[in-house]
């Protein structure tokens, strides 16, 4: 019985370490996310939103322009859209909405 408790204890410790420090939901301070930085930057699925004339602050200009995986691809999609509509690029003009299990969870932009 003692060996089973030791195994259960170590499995529990491993699970807690994995979920809090290694796994997909281990957190990322850089993006203030509950998900790991690697997941946020390279693996997460995003809906890409673009705000035309962002400096005017009109929420009616918000538009879903597509979906992609990873923050770099999200930003690249927004840049391509700005070029397509002949608008000067503005870092504030896009947002990447992290989507998981059909739910909108977090908003991000690519940070360097």
Q: Please report the pLDDT score of residue 54 as a whole number.
A: 78
Length of the chain: 112
pLDDT at 9: 52
Structure tokens at 53: 């004339």
Residue 59 has a pLDDT of 76
* pLDDT given for residue 47 in this prediction: 98
- The three-class DSSP label of residue 34 is coil
pLDDT, tens digit only, all 112 positions of the chain: 667 766 655 455 454 445 445 545 568 889 999 999 999 999 999 999 999 887 777 777 889 999 999 999 999 999 999 999 999 999 999 999 999 999 999 999 998 7
Each domain of the chain, given as residue ranges in start order, spans 27-108
pLDDT of residue 94: 95
Rounded Cα–Cα distance for residues 15 and 96 (Å)? 30
Q: Are strands 103-108 and 45-51 parallel, antiparallel or unpaired?
A: unpaired
CA angle 42, 53, 111 (to 5 degrees): 25
Q: Which two tokens stand for residue 61?
A: 């200009």
């Amino acid at each position: 019985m003692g060996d089973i408790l030791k195994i259960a204890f170590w499995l529990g410790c491993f699970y807690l370490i994995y979920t809090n420090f290694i796994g997909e939901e281990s957190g990322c301070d850089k993006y203030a996310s509950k998900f790991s930085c690697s997941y946020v930057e390279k693996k997460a699925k995003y809906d890409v939103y673009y705000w035309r004339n962002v400096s005017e602050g009109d929420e009616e200009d918000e538009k879903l322009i597509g979906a992609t995986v990873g923050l770099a691809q999200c930003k690249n999609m927004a840049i391509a859209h700005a070029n397509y509509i002949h608008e000067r690029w503005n870092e504030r003009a896009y947002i990447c909405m992290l989507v998981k299990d059909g739910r909108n969870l977090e908003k991000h932009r690519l940070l360097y």
